[in-house]
Amino acid sequence: MLHVVKRYFLLLLCGSWLLAANASALTASEQTALNKSSQAALQKLVSSVPAAKALHAQAVAVLVFPAVKKGGLVVGGQYGEGVLWRQGKPVAYYSTAGASWGLQAGVQKYGYALFLMNDGAVAALDAQQGFEVGVGPSVVLVDEGMGRSMTTKTIKDDIYAFIFSQKGLMAGLGVQGNKLTRLNQ
């Protein structure tokens, strides 16, 4: 049984990477809708979380995924599309895709924002056909406790991540891969 689950996981993982690698172009109406939802999510995050406001003021760019859908039962996957904002303007579009395997069950929808603090972090997004979270620049997940103690003097990492608007239930432990890929415009 475990052999079958591992094989299924590998197929799902390969499929999600192929989906991300062959990302299709967004239509003009899809770009407009994604811009609006991304901008609204970023504004809400910055206005309600002081650490996000401090990071936003110093970030070179911000990549916002307003709605990532995740689900699984032992083997799972996730997918979402987002906008890279630079100087208040949308400059590129990305997908986030991933697969997971382990003790997990449920479905969930959430958003996340990556505050890119230097040009190297921005360049890493497009290096080698996509950016794998956990490989390359350091990514710091900002939780509630860290968000309270963060000041402009403690900002020193390449990328800071905030997860927001979590809905649904996804429980368990698992091994997960996540890849960001630039979408064709």
Tens-place pLDDT, residues 110-128: 899 999 999 998 988 877 5
pLDDT of residue 75: 85
Q: What is the mean pLDDT of the chain?
A: 77
Interacting residues of 47 by C-beta distance below 8 A, sequence separation 6+ = 53
Among 5-9, 32-36, 79-83, 100-104, which is the least confidently predicted range? 5-9
Q: What is this structure's pTM? A: 0.77
pLDDT level of residue 165 (50, 70, 90 thresholds) = confident
Q: Answer whether 104's CB lies under 8 Å from 72's CB.
A: yes
Q: What pLDDT score was predicted for residue 22?
A: 43
Which of the four pLDDT bands, split at 50, 70 and 90, describes residue 35? very high
- How large is the angle between the packed helices 50-58 and 28-48, nearest 10 degrees? 120
Q: Which domain holds residue 32?
A: 2-182
Please give the pLDDT value at position 131. Answer: 61
Share of the chain above pLDDT 90, in %: 37
Mean pLDDT of 37-49: 95
The least confident of 26-40, 89-103, 169-183 is 169-183
Domain count within the chain: 1
